[in-house]
Amino acid sequence: MSEEQFTRGNLCCLVDDGEQQTIEVRISALGQFYQMLDPSPDLEKDLNPATVEYLVDTAEEMKNPKEHVHVALYLEESLYQNAELKSRMEKSVSAYFSRQVDILEHKHRMAHKKARRNLVRGLLFVIICVALSVVLTNFVNNPIVYAFGQSLTVIGWVALWTPAEFYLYLNREANEEIATMKRLADASVSSRTL
């Protein structure tokens, strides 16, 4: 039994036949597939943002994220008849998402370095703030100084907000995005005629 999900009009759909999940993409013009303003050769050219968005969204929504993905390009007759172009289009899907994996992994490594630096700074800052707060609240009997000491404690903990957000939330989201891109980079791609 196949399950289909239609989105963005008549452009694409997802078919799950129980053995393999196939993302079908209907291409009636080359501009629907490639980013035509990109002057690079086809294998280095960016894909059309709407097509990329559909492929990524669909891969993220798939029931079994470990299952192999197949991308079926349904090409307009003139595109399908050009064997060389058809072959380049098939290879372009993997090439594009492989580049995206490299870019995202690099950004993620840089984000990890930044998060580690922020964590060290935040921990040092919170230690200083808490120490000052203890000194001010325990040795000075003035309500304004006491309030200032308590404020230092809060400010110190706020300094850990960014590293905590990265390690609790953003790190996982980045890993999931990279995993989706890897699935699409490893996807098998075939062409069919419309």
Residue labelled with tokens 């964590």: 119
- Cβ atoms of residues 14 and 21 within 8 Å: yes
What average pLDDT does the segment 16-42 reach?
83
pLDDT surpassing 90 at residue 174: yes
Query: In this predicted model, which residue has the larger pLDDT, 181 or 5?
Result: 181
Residue 5 confidence (pLDDT): 37
| Model confidence pLDDT, tens digit, residues 161-172 | 999 999 999 999
More confident: 138 or 154 = 154
8 A C-beta contact, residue 101 and residue 182: yes
pLDDT of residue 19: 65
Q: Who has greater pLDDT, 12 or 87?
A: 87
Nearest-CA neighbor of 33 among 21, 24, 46, 22?
A: 46
- Give the whole-number percent of the chain exceeding pLDDT 90: 60
Whether pLDDT at 14 is above 70: no
Q: With 70 as the cut, is the pLDDT of residue 96 above it?
A: yes
pLDDT of residue 158: 92
The residue that leads in pLDDT, 92 or 65, is 92
Strand order in 12-16's β-sheet? 3-7, 12-16, 21-27, 69-75, 188-193
CA 57 – CA 11 distance, rounded (Å): 14
**What's the pLDDT tens digit per position in 34-77?**
988 878 887 888 999 999 999 999 888 887 777 788 999 999 99
